[in-house]
Every structure is written in C-alpha cells, then in structure tokens.
Amino acid sequence: MTSGKARILVTGASGFIGRALVPLLLDAGYAVRAVSRSPGKFPSKEAETAILPPPDAPPPAFEALVAGCDHVVHLAAIAHAGRQQATAAYEAVNRRLAERLAEAAHGAIAGKFVFISSIRAQCGPVRQGIVRETDPAQPEDDYGRAKLAAEKAIASIFADTGKFTILRPVLVYGAGVRGNMGMLIRLARLPLPLPFAGLDAKRSLLDREALCGAILHAIREPRTNGGTYLVADAAPLSVAEIIAAIRMGLGRRTGLYPLPQSWLERLAELTGQSRRWQAVTGGLVASPLLLEATGWQPPDDTFRRIAESVRTERPKD
C-alpha cells in the first residue's frame, strides 16, 4: 500500500466509466485498487488490480477485496441482459453483488461507499415534466428495480454512519460509448440525410468526465453523505440536436429533414425496435440541482462536449 495515500476500490474499472475514473483518481493523488471481471483490460498500470468475485462468493472473498481501502466506488453492473435471463442477472449482479460489497465495506472502510445507480431506479425511459430525487421512485423494468433494491440495501447497511452516496446518472456520453448513445452515433455516421429534424423532445445527458467529477466530489464532500442524487448536464438536448452535435464532431453538415414522428414510430415497430426508439427519442429531463447545491457543477456546454467526444474517436489520417 502506498504510504500516505488514501486508497479507493473501484469495481467495474475496465468499463466505459471506470476507464475514465481510475486515471482521474490517480491524478487526484489517490491510490486505486482497480477491480474487474475482465483480467487484462485494466485502465492504468499505476493501479493495483484485483478480480471481482461473483455475487455468490463467500464473505471472506469480499472482505479481502476491500481490505486496506479507505473508500469504495461501485460501478460494476449489467446494463443489458437477454430477456430469458434478465431478471436473474439483474438481481444477482445489480442488487446482490452491490449488497455483498457494501456489507464487507461497512466494517472495513473509514471513508465513503459511493454507489453508481441509474436514472432507471427513479423512473422509466420516458417521463413528462422534470424528474427530481424528491419524486417517488417508480422504476419500470427489472434493471431499474434491481438498482433501486441495491440502493435501499446500501442505505440500510450504512444507516449507522451515513457514509454513503448514491448517484443516479442519466444517459452518459463520451468517446467509445455504446448502448443507445452509440446507436445514435452509428446513425449519424451514415453518409445520407436523416429524417430526425422533427424530433424535438428534450433528454438529459451526462458527460462521462462530469460523472467522474461527481464521483470524486461525492468521495470528498461530507454534504453528500447519506444522499441520493440525479446526475446530469445542465441543458437537455433533443435527438435532432444530438445528431447535429455528432455530425459536427465528424466534420459534416447536419443533414436533417423532418418526417412525421408517427412514420418513424411505425418503422421502429416494423423493425422490432419500438422500445429502444422510445427510450432514445422520448422526453426525459432530470434536474441536477440537488447535487449542485452540495458544490458540484454540471456542464452547460453539452452540444460542444458531444461533438468533441466524437472528434476524439475519429480515425487519424
């Protein structure tokens, strides 16, 4: 263990967020124990590495994992599982694994347990009005319900100390992103005009670097102790604006034209993508004001940041 440095355990260290978080924590002066299910994919040679035990591993496996650490950031999760095994997978990894890790950390760490949950623990993929943490949590799928159950377990385990923070990020973007944002990038890369100019419902997005900053803020800021926070950039964008930002990053014209949304919805239905299309194009605006009140600053230049993240990914000539 490095003398004089607080050590942070980061699960999911080889994932999309972990690959950005680990270097940030190292640069901030922390020692890092980078934990993953995928050996050989760790983000930094400067970090100590370890393998994440399965959810049904005995307690000593988790106790050994957190031994010598001051803080824990739990990122590891399953975002997409096949329909047949989805409920069991989300329950095992997104709830039970988080609970096992929290149980081991409670008696071992002097600092914070930071859990990266999801907006899906708060609500479904589409929501009218502005979403706030004070709204009743009403997840609409197994993924969100497992995340909410993990939140409740962690809050119960750390109820005596209050040394935990739960973050509920919205859709995260950044270089190398996959999922729904990756789908939009693939669409924007097509060398033809796209019929999305009329898609004006606003959605909150979150820059990956900003999320990493929020995690570091939660570790350092006592005002976040015991709190649950939505994490989002300050200004939501429509799908049309997102596509425009991506194409700017690609050095191309916007190339959008309007087509009735009902036609697009029908096309999505015919191709079996109705739910995913709704999740990408429907409105969902989350307020980051509660976390902002503790001193975190949400980005207000989302359009530019999206363009820059895509520009970073462009192959060099």
Q: What is the pLDDT of residues 89-148, one digit of tens each?
A: 899 999 999 999 999 999 999 999 999 999 999 999 899 999 999 999 999 999 999 999
DSSP-based helix, strand, coil % in the chain, nearest 5: 40, 15, 45
Contacts of 78 (CB under 8 A, 6+ apart): 89, 90, 93, 94, 143
Q: Each residue of 247-281: pLDDT tens digit?
A: 999 999 999 999 887 777 787 777 777 777 777 78
Please state the rounded mean pLDDT for residues 193-200: 91
> Given the DSSP bridges, would you call strands 202-203 and 237-238 parallel, antiparallel or unpaired?
antiparallel
CA distance 184 to 30: 35
What does the pLDDT read at residue 2?
45
| Mean pLDDT, the chain, integer | 91
Of the candidates 248, 207, 216, which has an alpha carbon nearest to the alpha carbon of residue 73? 216
d(CA 117, CA 94): 9
- Beta bridge partners, 284, equal 203
Tell me what pLDDT residue 260 has. Answer: 84
* pLDDT for residue 1 is more than 50: no
Give the confidence band of 314 by pLDDT, cuts at 50, 70, 90.
low
Q: How high is the pLDDT of residue 312?
A: 81
Residue 58 has pLDDT above 50, yes or no: yes
The confidence band for 292, taking pLDDT boundaries of 50, 70 and 90, is very high
Question: Residue 23: beta bridge partners?
Answer: none
**pLDDT surpassing 70 at residue 44:** no
Task: Please check the confidence at residue 317 and state whether its pLDDT lies above 70.
Answer: no
Does the structure show a pLDDT above 70 at 153? Answer: yes
